[in-house]
Amino acid sequence: MPKNKAENQQLKLLMVEDTLSVATLYQTYLATLNLDICIVSSGEAALAHLTQHSIDLMLLDLHLPDMTGMDVLKKVRTQAPKVPVIFMTAYGSIEVAVEAMRAGAHDFLIKPCEADQLRITVSKAIHQTQNAQYDVLGDVSQYQGFIGSSSSMQQVYKTIDSAASSKASIFITGESGTGKEVCAEAIHSVSNRSTQPFIALNCAAIPKDLIESELFGHVKGAFTGAATDRKGAAELADGGTLFLDELCEMDLELQTKLLRFIQTSTYQKVGSSKLSRVDVRFVCATNKDPWDEVRKGRFREDLYYRLYVIPLHLPPLRERGDDIVEIAYSLLGFTSLEENKNFGKFQEEVLRHFVSYPWPGNVRQLQNVIRNIVVLNEGEEVTLDMLPSPLDRFKVASFSEDAIDTFLDPEHSDDSRKIIPLAQVERRVIERAIQLCGGSIPSAAAELDVSASTLYRKLEKWEKGRG
């Protein structure tokens, strides 16, 4: 039997795509796979690459500037007959697909293709041509719409994967814009309810006098304007997942009815005396501290204990280190494709700004910044002068070489030969960096060339030590 490729050895994928933004986007989609990806923009470049390098898979655009993808395929079949080739085209048709398959294509994708579709197609092609024990997909299913591989997000993925199959309620906390609904959808997608409805209800966006009807539904004539019977979120989610976003904004009186619903799985429509029963899995979220809301009398304690079974905290973007860069590149590729622009990379100084900036609006704010840049500018590279407000006014702290000695000035001591423990030096360096960066931990992390999450962990450790 032929030997497997070592698990830590990356398979080589050649992507032949002449639009930089599309290539960048698809490279980001495939970033979580164990692949060494090379991108070329023409048929000639692809054939030249094949003469010098071996590859395990090719993603081939049908329309190239110098020749057609069909012409490339015919030559690839001569040069590397065993390499699987997946066609990608925005001009898909049954006829073209049949012709490509007859010419030796392994599979066919219509652009723009979704991330999961691309990953699954690539994985399937590799599994069918390599030994099936080689798992190129790895833990991709745990990402479920998220981008990023920081340790804090790995913990989120692990919690989602562990809790998804249970019926236990999950309480998601996190700042606005961290992706709480994406998280709820991820939980639903990997659960055994994934084929059933996912119904989201934003408790903060619905007027107080309408939210009960939105949750439980109403019968005809229940109130002015109720011209027909109406199903509520509870009934629509039967068999699936009910996501209650911004739950702490719900009126206390309705919280009592929600508690009864959770305990008994029964409810009454507004204006009806009939009890209805459903089977739903509860996932809820808030951008506040739920226990603090309990102490302030705005959230029922018994409801808190009913729902706060599996807590899941989404870290703010500023604590996710290099995830910011991954997310920015993904958003740039997607937005450029959507807006028919050519952006595909960031100037290094722009990335430094992104990593250092505190992002009060988190991923949602980053998304808006990227769209602003793409819509209002032209080019292939995002430069510093394209940054919108308030990022254009944000200053990334920097230090001259001459300042290093001052920065690391040792503690005064009568004994000039005294050696200071490394832990104390490290703490002093970090605290001084934060001070020089105006209190910005992400900026200090960028200057110290460590992830922001590392500094947050150390600060938390020191804080506990004082306690």
Classify 148 in phi/psi space as left (phi over 0), alpha (psi -120 to 50) or beta. left
* pLDDT on residue 364: 93
C-alpha 371/C-alpha 406 separation (Å) is: 42
Q: CA 74 from chain center: how many Å? A: 38
- Domains along the chain? 12-131 (3.40.50.2300), 151-313 (3.40.50.300), 319-393 (1.10.8.60), 417-465 (1.10.10.60)
For residue 434, the one-letter residue type is: I
pTM over 0.85: no
- Preceding amide of 311 cis, omega within 30: no
Mean per-residue pLDDT for 450-460? 75
Are 465 and 424 contacting, i.e. CB atoms less than 8 angstroms apart? no
Query: How would you label 225-263 residue by residue, b for 16+ Cβ within 10 Å and e otherwise?
Result: eeeeebebbbbbbbebbbbbbbbbbbeeeebebbbebbe
Query: How would you label 283-317 residue by residue, b for 16+ Cβ within 10 Å and e otherwise?
Result: bbbbbbebeebbeeebbbeebbebbbebebebbbb
Q: What is the DSSP string of 341-370?
A: ----EE-HHHHHHHHHS--TTHHHHHHHHH
Among 278-282, 316-320, 325-329, top mean pLDDT goes to 278-282
* pLDDT on residue 342: 81
C-alpha 231/C-alpha 164 separation (Å) is: 26
C-alpha 241/C-alpha 190 separation (Å) is: 12
Residue 1: band (very low, low, confident or very high) from pLDDT cuts 50, 70, 90: very low
Mean of per-residue pLDDT scores for the chain: 81
Residue 280: band (very low, low, confident or very high) from pLDDT cuts 50, 70, 90: very high
C-alpha 36/C-alpha 43 separation (Å) is: 20
Residues 149-165 have pLDDT tens digits of 777 888 888 898 888 88
C-alpha 455/C-alpha 53 separation (Å) is: 42
Give the 3-state secondary structure of residue 129: helix
